[in-house]
Structures are given as structure tokens and as C-alpha cells.
Amino acid sequence: MYSDFHLHTSFSDDSDTDPEKQIERAIALRMSSICFTDHIDMDYPEGEFTFELDIDAYYNCYLQYREKYKNKIQLFFGVEFGMQPHLGPAFEEYTAIHPFDFVIGSNHLVRGMDPYYPEAFEGYTEDSTYRRYFEELLTEVTNCSSFDVMGHLDYIVRYGPNQNRYYSYEKYQDVIDEILRTVISKGKGIECNTSGLRNLGVPHPMPQILTRYREMGGEILTIGSDAHVPEHLGFGFDRIGEILKACGFRYYTTFAERKPEFHKL
């Protein structure tokens, strides 16, 4: 079973899951390792969630469970940072002062709103909102170099009025290719986020983008379920290996102390 390098616990504002439950689920699935990647989203718009992270309590909890389960599974300490075009310096500072093994840089907003809420699409076409999302993501990965992989590249498609019914890589190829080119030039990677398999039938990003990333020379690729509850941890991992092989990959990546390690699919 592949290592899950994107999962959440009650330290994320949108999860109530006890961290130990995620560990126990991973052990039951016979994973050799997992990485906690709870949310920190600075300047997140006021509303239902704040996505503030109690980093000291989070790290102390991690250390406690790393020791408790050291003979059963390897645990890594990570974070999912919500990128915005103006947050490059804050992102650099935050990741420099904490002992993360792994950092996901993700875009959760478009025009300052989370597409999780339908209001983010009001007054705009679905296509223009998708494009604006990718343009903002390009600015973010250009302005910041402190992430290890870029999270769920086409996250916005989860919440579009038609989701991926009319969505295609070709529609946004110009900006998506530039995102991938920038990530690769910085020596960073992307993730294959299997949460899309639950309701879209494809991972994030879609296989055409994964294939393009590999064609452009991209090698660093983590696998994550984005699980906020234990039953979603490792979701789709029984299928993802064949999907990634069909996209041209032979290895997937884990991280320790911010350094990539490659494992055969």
C-alpha cells in the first residue's frame, strides 16, 4: 500500500478526526508511512472556517504519536499551506521556522473566495472562473519556492456548477503548461490527489495533466487521499498505481526532512 502524504485531522478547521484514528486506519491498511498535512490558510476570508493552525500543539501531538507507533508505522510531519498571490513572503517565513518533513502548497481561493461556496461562481462563467483560478495558481507558484509539491492542481473542478463535465486540459493548456513548467524549473513536484476519484471519477489533477507533467520532465509526484475522515484515508490507492503507470510514471515520492525519496509503483 502506498504511503498517504495528504491527510487531515482535528488540527484542521474542517476535520473532527482524532489523529490517532488516522494512524490506526493507516496501520490497518498496511501502509509503511503517512504524513500529517493539516491546514494553515493565512488571510482566509471570514466565514465558517478560519484554517488557523495551533502549530505547537500540532507538533507535540505528532511527536507523541511518532514515539508511540514507532514500531508499527513511520509518521512524518507536514503542512498544507493555502497559497495566495500576496502570501509568498509569509509562506517562506512560516516554513523556514518549523521542522516540517513535507510542505504542500495549495490554492483554495479564486478572487478571494473559496469555490467550495457557490457564491464564488456568481456573476461569472464557469470557464472564466476556472481560468482565473489557474492564473492565480501560476502567480503563486512563481512568487514562492517554499513548497515541496503543489496540491490538487485542479481543485476548483470539485466545486464547479458542472464539475468536470465540460472541463478539459486543452481548454486551459496555455496556463496549466506554464504552471507545470514553473514547478519543474524550481525542482518541485505535484501531487496525485485521489479525492477526485470519489466524486469526479478521476484524480486531481486529471490524467491528461499528469501525463503532460511527466512529458515535460516532471518526476516528483506524491500520492495523497486528502482524507478528513479515516474511511477516506488511502481511498483509490488500489487503482492509482495503474493510472499513474498509464501516465508514464514508474515511481512515486515521499518526503523526509524536505528531501524527496522515490519508490517504485
Residues found in the chain: 265
The whole-number pLDDT of residue 47 equals: 82
Is the residue at 6 inside a domain? Answer: no
- Among 204, 108, 105, residue whose Cα is nearest residue 153: 204
Is the residue at 4 inside a domain? Answer: no
Q: Helix (H, G, I), strand (E, B), or coil: what is residue 249?
A: coil
pLDDT at 186 over 90: yes
**Mean pLDDT across the chain, nearest whole number?**
97
- Its domain, for residue 174, covers 19-264
Region 35-44 average pLDDT: 97
Is the residue at 201 inside a domain? Answer: yes
Task: Beginning with the edge strand found earlier in the chain, give each strand of the sheet holding 33-40 in spatial order.
Answer: 33-40, 74-83, 102-107, 149-150, 189-193, 221-224
pLDDT at 49 over 90: no
DSSP H or E run through 211: helix 207-215
Question: 77 is written with which cell numbers?
Answer: 510531519
Q: How confident is the model at residue 224 (pLDDT cuts 50, 70, 90)?
A: very high
The whole-number pLDDT of residue 136 equals: 97
Question: 241 is written with which cell numbers?
Answer: 498505481
Is the residue at 108 inside a domain? Answer: yes
pLDDT at 1 over 90: no
Is the residue at 90 inside a domain? Answer: yes
Question: Domains in the chain: how many in total?
Answer: 1
Euclidean distance between CA atoms 231 and 24, whole angstroms: 11
Share of the chain above pLDDT 90, in %: 97
pLDDT at 16 over 90: yes
Rg (CA), the chain: 17
Is the residue at 5 inside a domain? Answer: no
DSSP H or E run through 30: none
CATH of the domain at 212: 3.20.20.140
Q: What is the DSSP string of 106-162?
A: EE--BTTB-TTSGGGGTTS-HHHHHHHHHHHHHHHHHH----SEE--TTGGGGTSTT
Region 221-244 average pLDDT: 98
pLDDT digits (tens, 9 = 90+) for 127-154: 999 999 999 999 999 999 999 999 999 9
Is the residue at 170 inside a domain? Answer: yes
Residues facing residue 39 across a β-bridge: 80
The whole-number pLDDT of residue 244 equals: 98
CA-CA-CA-CA dihedral for 248, 1, 40, 160, to nearest 10 = 60
HEC letters along 56-83: HHHHHHHHHHHHHCCCCCEEEEEEEEEE
If phi > 0 it is left, if psi is from -120 to 50 it is alpha, else beta; for residue 207 that is alpha
Region 206-211 average pLDDT: 98
Region 197-214 average pLDDT: 97
Residue with cell 506524491: 222
Q: How confident is the model at residue 192 (pLDDT cuts 50, 70, 90)?
A: very high
Is the residue at 236 inside a domain? Answer: yes
pLDDT at 108 over 90: yes
